[in-house]
Amino acid sequence: MNSRTKLAAAVVVACAFLLAVLAAAAFVTGAGLEGQEQALLNSLVERRLGAVLMIVLVACVFLFLILRATHEFLILPPARAAEEAAAMLEQPATRLSAQGSSELQRLIIAVNRLAEQHHARDAEIEVRIRAANAAAEADRNRFAVLMSELAQGVIVCNMDGRVLLYNRRARALFAGSSGHGMAALGLGRSIYGLFDRHLIAYALEHIDTRRTAHSHFVAVTESGRLLRVLVAAIPEAGAGTGTGAAAETVRGLSGYMTMIEDMTETFDSESMRDQLLQDLTESSRGPVGNLRAAAETLYDYTDMSAEDHQRFLAVVRDEAAGLATRVEGAARKYAAVLKSRWPLEEMLGSDLLMAARRRIVDRCALQVSIEDVDAEVWIKVDGFSMLQAMTYFSARLRDEYQIRDIKLRLSRDGAMAHIDLIWSGVFMSTETVMQWELDAMTVAGETSPLAVRDIVERNGGEVWFQRDHASYRAFFRFLLPAISAQDAVLAKVGAATVDSRPEFYDFDLFKGEDTDLALDDRLLAQLAYTVFDTETTGLEPSAGDEIIQIGAVRIVNRRLLRHESYEQLIDPQRSLPAQSVKIHGITAEMLAGQPPIARVLPIFRAFVADTVLVAHNAAFDMRFLELKEATTGIRFDRPVLDTFLLSAVLFPAQETHRLEAIAERLGVSVMGRHTAVGDAIVTAEVFLKMLPLLAEKGIRTLGEAREASEKTYHARIKY
């Protein structure tokens, strides 16, 4: 029973007591009267009944005002202080607001001072703990860097197949263009969404029966990529067994690691090589046979006529020429295969220039300066071989033309990046340039069998020699493919998220869960959650308003996984009201070309699979999704928790349960409001703060949280 209900009950009881007292007084007064006295009393009551009722009503109102004032002054302030004190346990920086009587305010001031001292002591302890854990943190980060930068994809799972760790390469392998792969890989998700369960079970059985350290299999992704997967067992620290389907096959293991290598390009190139060899062999049988027959005839019949002798020589010449053409064609095709197999890496063009400058100065003892650089140019290149080529050209300029000053320049023209190696005062012939391009490179005692042209072609580019007569300068221009804007953004994001690598693993998931329990009986701390929010064209889903953006983040093992997020703009296929644009800032231009809701919901449904949904004022967002069930066939039947209702459970005495107010109450910073993913992140942080407060109220399982939410007054809201 909340405080307002208690106030109403107190008023009803007080008024009933007052009426009972008046009725008892009237009864006692009338019981001792007889005859004329009784008639006189009845006449008096009839004349003064209205005044009596008015007095009774005024007395009840006065009594209500006294009780309400007492409630506001003596009851509500301690209740609110108690709720704020509960929030203080979760957020130590929170302080109680001074309210109520002077005695209560003095108590609140004393509690705040005590909290300050406690917070200061905790801060000192926290500093000591951080210092003590510095070495462990460094080891963890080194491990995270190692895992993240491996060329192979790595996924570690417990025996239930739940993902405990994955690195950046694994995420890239399964992030298909449709987005389903991205949704399938995440902490706490099942690896069986990526690989067939029987493949994993067979690999683990092979490890167990043959007592080997690892096993492997080949799988194909939904996008058609061919993967080679190595499965290595992780022994259990103590005696125990897993509980999943795979655990029934293998005993004494706590989990397993998969190392995933993309074999698509290797397989394609090897298939191409085999096809080239087969084609060359088949096409060479006839010419080789003709050459052999002609040679044997010429050898055996030395006395043949001159005409026949010339005819057989012509056969040898034609067949040899045809065979040479076939061999050269096969060589060109195989060179293209080798080119595709070169390991190219994404890098800033300016970084390549800085490295070239250092190498030329060290190896050639030249003065090197950087002239004009477009800092936004990204290239995909084998950096070492390109440095060799630029250093080789510089060395030949020094040795043959006594050039002592080199300048480097970087620009972009469409899809190509231009790297210029510039010098002044000497021009050379085109024949000399071609000879330099084709010669094997030798610089400072280092010899390479490759020529500059080989290197440039295998990097997918060209090299030009150009003259600038006006400035009396010449330069070699290396034209290399530039990375698209989208790839450049991804490269920048990858470089900027080094500190967040630890979010790719959570070894606490090695601990077993009560997966056999019904979902409502599972502890809130054990569940995985998808916290989501929507932006819409308006506030009336039943009147034609549509979703224009969905944003979501995941919570696993009570950790907010910011990297495992989902955000998508949606074309509402209707006009966008100006008043809604003022709220969320999403314009019609931003929605042009975005997918409709029918294409977005299947991907979002895959993202939220096997999780509990969490939203603020979830009834509003869920109503939009429910209305799309008939047209899309996508049903969101996962359990739902609402931070709006949970706030009413935790803080029934508070006047507002807006997201901003709850965040301030729990010490959560509010950023990115009225963007779907921004609101989802704030809601997720609020929800995490609520979990220990719910436990203190005895609400520990999903079923208990849902039952408590349904009992609140706000659960009656319908859309």
pLDDT surpassing 90 at residue 304: no
Mark which of 298, 315, 340 sits at the end of a domain: 340
Please check whether residue 264 is in contact with residue 296, taking contact to mean a CB–CB distance below 8 angstroms.
Answer: no
Q: What is the pLDDT of residues 172-212, one digit of tens each?
A: 888 753 444 455 788 888 888 888 888 888 888 888 877 77
- 674-682: average pLDDT: 86
Mark whether 175 and 277 lie in a shared domain. Answer: no
Mark whether 218 and 235 lie in a shared domain. Answer: yes
Would you list the DSSP string of 226-241? EEEEEEEEEE-SSS--
- What pLDDT is stored for residue 339 in this prediction? 53
636 C-beta neighbours (distance < 10 Å), count: 17
What percentage of the chain exceeds 70 in pLDDT?
82
Q: How many domains does the chain have?
A: 5
Please check whether residue 707 is in contact with residue 638, taking contact to mean a CB–CB distance below 8 angstroms.
Answer: no
Q: Report phi then psi at 341, rounded to 5.
A: -95, 0
pLDDT surpassing 60 at residue 512: no
Mark which of 433, 464, 481 sits at the end of a domain: 481
Residue 409 gets the label, from left (phi > 0), alpha (psi -120 to 50) or beta, of beta
Between residues 288 and 523, the one the model is more confident about: 523
C-alpha dihedral, 687 to 692 to 697 to 700, nearest 10°: 80
Question: Predicted confidence band at 599 (pLDDT cuts at 50, 70, 90)?
Answer: very high
Q: Name the most confidently modeled range: 107-116, 305-314, 525-534.
A: 525-534
Residue pointed to by tokens 């905790």: 122
Residue 365 gets the label, from left (phi > 0), alpha (psi -120 to 50) or beta, of left
- What pLDDT is stored for residue 402 in this prediction? 92
Q: How far apart are CA 718 and CA 714, in angstroms?
A: 10
pLDDT surpassing 50 at residue 491: no
Residue pointed to by tokens 């008096």: 44
Question: Predicted confidence band at 243 (pLDDT cuts at 50, 70, 90)?
Answer: very low
Residue among 539, 615, 600 nearest 569 (CA): 600
pLDDT surpassing 60 at residue 283: yes
For residue 276, give its domain range: 267-340
Write down the H helix ranges in 301-382. Answer: 306-340, 349-364
- What pLDDT is stored for residue 390 in this prediction? 93
Q: How far apart are CA 665 and CA 656, in angstroms?
A: 11
Q: How far apart are CA 301 and CA 458, in angstroms?
A: 50
Q: How far apart are CA 320 and CA 318, in angstroms?
A: 5
Contacts of 432 (CB under 8 A, 6+ apart): none
Angle formed by the axes of helices 643-650 and 676-696, to 10°?
Answer: 30
CATH number at residue 654: 3.30.420.10
- What pLDDT is stored for residue 367 in this prediction? 93
- What pLDDT is stored for residue 398 in this prediction? 92
Three-state secondary structure call for residue 618: helix
Structure-block tokens of residue 551: 């944003």
Q: How far apart are CA 217 and CA 259, in angstroms?
A: 11
pLDDT surpassing 70 at residue 495: no
Q: Is the dihedral of CA 420, 423, 429, 434 positive or negative?
A: negative
Between residues 420 and 32, the one the model is more confident about: 420
Mark whether 534 and 640 lie in a shared domain. Answer: yes
Mark whether 441 and 427 lie in a shared domain. Answer: yes
Mark whether 601 and 665 lie in a shared domain. Answer: yes
- What pLDDT is stored for residue 676 in this prediction? 85
Mark whether 583 and 685 lie in a shared domain. Answer: yes
Q: What is the pLDDT of residues 658-672, one digit of tens each?
A: 999 999 888 888 776
Mark whether 294 and 396 lie in a shared domain. Answer: no
pLDDT surpassing 60 at residue 406: yes
- What pLDDT is stored for residue 492 in this prediction? 44
Question: Predicted confidence band at 5 (pLDDT cuts at 50, 70, 90)?
Answer: confident
Q: Give all strands (DSSP E) within 605-701, no chain letters.
A: 612-615, 640-642
Mark which of 454, 481, 508 sits at the end of a domain: 481
- 433-457: average pLDDT: 84
- What pLDDT is stored for residue 187 in this prediction? 86
pLDDT surpassing 80 at residue 224: no
Mark whether 573 and 708 lie in a shared domain. Answer: yes
Question: Predicted confidence band at 244 (pLDDT cuts at 50, 70, 90)?
Answer: very low
Within a domain: residue 232? yes
* Catalytic entry in 180, 206, 216, 674: 674
Mark whether 529 and 669 lie in a shared domain. Answer: yes
Q: Is the dihedral of CA 671, 673, 679, 683 positive or negative?
A: positive
Residue 589 gets the label, from left (phi > 0), alpha (psi -120 to 50) or beta, of alpha
Q: Is 430 exposed, middle or buried (0-12, 13-18, 19+ CB in 10 A)?
A: exposed
Between residues 527 and 266, the one the model is more confident about: 527
Q: What is the pLDDT of residues 548-569, one digit of tens each?
A: 999 999 999 888 988 888 999 9
Please check whether residue 276 is in contact with residue 333, taking contact to mean a CB–CB distance below 8 angstroms.
Answer: yes
Q: How far is CA 457 from CA 330, 392, 590, in A?
A: 17, 16, 40
Within a domain: residue 125? no
Within a domain: residue 121? no
Mark whether 90 and 158 lie in a shared domain. Answer: no
Mark whether 529 and 629 lie in a shared domain. Answer: yes
- What pLDDT is stored for residue 455 in this prediction? 87
Q: How far is CA 466 from CA 187, 299, 480, 536, 663, in A?
A: 54, 55, 16, 57, 63
Strands 640-642 and 612-615: parallel
Between residues 363 and 122, the one the model is more confident about: 363
Lowest average pLDDT, out of 39-43, 488-492, 679-683, 712-716, goes to: 488-492
- What pLDDT is stored for residue 441 in this prediction? 87
Strands 529-536 and 547-556: antiparallel
- What pLDDT is stored for residue 674 in this prediction? 67
Contacts of 141 (CB under 8 A, 6+ apart): 501, 502
Within a domain: residue 149? yes
Q: How far apart are CA 356 and CA 387, in angstroms?
A: 6
Mark whether 695 and 621 lie in a shared domain. Answer: yes
Residue among 173, 183, 258, 266 nearest 223 (CA): 173
Strands 163-166 and 214-220: unpaired
Between residues 691 and 105, the one the model is more confident about: 691
Q: How far apart are CA 406 and CA 423, in angstroms?
A: 5
Residue 208 gets the label, from left (phi > 0), alpha (psi -120 to 50) or beta, of alpha
Q: How far is CA 458 from CA 332, 337, 359, 479, 709, in A?
A: 12, 10, 21, 12, 64
Within a domain: residue 133? no
Q: How far apart are CA 556 and CA 525, in angstroms?
A: 9
Q: Which helix (H) or strand (E) holds 129?
A: helix 102-132
Q: What is the pLDDT of residues 7-20, one digit of tens each?
A: 677 778 877 887 78
Please check whether residue 252 is in contact with residue 313, taking contact to mean a CB–CB distance below 8 angstroms.
Answer: no
CATH number at residue 184: 3.30.450.20
Strands 529-536 and 612-615: parallel
User: Average per-residue pLDDT in the chain?
Assistant: 81
Q: How far apart are CA 452 and CA 342, in angstroms?
A: 15
Q: How far apart are CA 154 and CA 481, in angstroms?
A: 30
- 205-233: average pLDDT: 82
Q: How far apart are CA 408 and CA 359, in angstroms?
A: 13
Contacts of 599 (CB under 8 A, 6+ apart): none
Q: How far apart are CA 294 and CA 290, in angstroms?
A: 6
- 240-261: average pLDDT: 63
What percentage of the chain exceeds 90 in pLDDT?
25
Within a domain: residue 233? yes
Within a domain: residue 127? no
- What pLDDT is stored for residue 535 in this prediction? 93
Within a domain: residue 422? yes
Q: Is 130 exposed, middle or buried (0-12, 13-18, 19+ CB in 10 A)?
A: exposed
For residue 595, the 8-state DSSP code is: P
Q: What is the pLDDT of residues 39-63, one digit of tens each?
A: 776 676 676 667 777 877 888 888 7
The verdict on whether 616 is a catalytic residue reads no
Residue pointed to by tokens 């491990």: 143
Q: How far is CA 431 from CA 437, 438, 442, 453, 643, in A?
A: 10, 11, 19, 14, 76
- 628-644: average pLDDT: 92
How many Å is the Cα radius of gyration of the chain? 40
pLDDT surpassing 90 at residue 571: yes
